[in-house]
Amino acid sequence: MFKIAVLISGNGSNLEALIDACKNNYINGSIDVVLSNNPNAFGIERAKNHSINYKVINHESFETRSEFDKALLKELKKSSPDLIVLAGFMRILTPLILNAYKNKIINIHPSLLPKYPGLDTHNSVLENGDLKHGVTIHYVNEVLDGGKIIAQGEISVGANETAQGLQKRIHAIEHVMLPMVVSKFADGTINTSKIIYEKFI
C-alpha cells in the first residue's frame, strides 16, 4: 500500500480532500500519518475524525529549526512514507528532511509559480492587475516555493474580484488538483518531464 504522510499547520481542507480521495479509492493509497507543528490546527480534528494517526510537533518547543526537523524526521521514519505532502504546512524544511526524502516531498502553493512565492498571493494578484491566478504543486527544495513544478491549475481573474473570493475559488481548485497529483504518484504514472496544466472557470 502506498503510504502518504501529510504535514499541516492549519485548517486542513486539503487534508480532507486527500482523505476523501483515499476513501473513494481515487488515490490507490492511504494517509499513514498527519503531522502538525501547530497544536491548535483544525486539521488535527480531521485526522481524529477519520482515525488517522497524528502527532503534534510544536516548533515553539525547539530552540532551532534543525532540532525541530530532527524531531519531525524521527516521526516520519516511524511511518516510512512513500510521499510527503505539505498541505498548508507553514515551516521551511532543512536539508536534513529534504535529503532523507529526495523527490518524495511535494507542496501546494496558491499562485502560478514562479509568480508570488510566499504569503499573501491573492492580494498580490489583485494589486498587480493580473488576469489569471492559480495553484501550483511542486517538489520541495531549499528555496521557498522554488522546487520543480509538477502541476498547475489556472483561473481567470474577474474585474470585481476580492482577495476573499479568490481564496475561495483557489481552495476549490486545490481540492481537485492535489488529489489528482497524489493519485498519479500512488499509481506510478507521474511524469515530471511535462507540467500538468489545467484551466478552470
What span, in angstroms and rounded, lies between the C-alpha atoms of 12 and 52? 13
Residue 56 belongs to domain with CATH number: 3.40.50.170
Query: Domain range spanning residue 116?
Result: 2-199
What average pLDDT does the structure give for the chain? Answer: 96
Look at residue 155 in the predicted model and tell me its pLDDT: 97
Q: What are the tens digits of pLDDT across the range 95-152?
A: 999 999 999 999 999 999 999 999 999 999 999 999 999 999 999 999 999 999 999 9
Amino acid at the residue 11 = N
Mean pLDDT (whole number) for 42-58: 97
> Which one of 59, 109, 122, 175 is the catalytic residue?
109
Total tally of structural domains belonging to the chain: 1
pTM of the full structure: 0.96
Distance, CA of 137 to chain centre? 7
138 is catalytic: no
Query: What confidence score (pLDDT) does residue 201 get?
Result: 75
DSSP letters for 125-190: HHHTT-SEEEEEEEE--SSTT-SPEEEEEEEEPPTT--HHHHHHHHHHHHHHHHHHHHHHHHHT--
